[in-house]
Amino acid sequence: MVRTPTRTPVANAFAERRVGTVRRECLDHLLILGEQHATAVLTAYIDHYNQHRPHRSLQQQAPLSTGTSPPPEPGTSAVRHDRLGGLIHEYRQAA
């Protein structure tokens, strides 16, 4: 649990926004069966959000990415990796 500082409504707004994003993009689509299941689901979602999901404010890069990736070669295909039973799709350039 993260406590927001007292008398700082802006901090609370950021926390509420994050909770809403996780709920809309992940938890509203799954039936959570217990604390261990919730931990596994949230860990997978947080990993995707920070390492793979493109963010507009970062020029379509992920927050923890290692920098800009080179553009794909013409004619190469992409490989899809499903996470959370197909709820999340991640794409990588095929070798």
Q: What is the pLDDT of residues 28-86, one digit of tens each?
A: 999 999 999 999 999 999 988 888 887 777 777 778 876 666 667 778 888 898 988 88
- The token pair that represents 5 in the structure block: 């500082």
Domain ranges within the chain, ordered by starting residue: 9-67
The residue count for the chain: 95
User: What would you report as the CA-atom Rg of the chain, rounded to the nearest whole angstrom?
Assistant: 17
Burial call 36-60: b when 16+ CB within 10 Å, e when fewer: eeeeebeebbeebbeebbeeeeeee
Give residue-wise pLDDT tens across range 72-84: 777 888 889 898 8
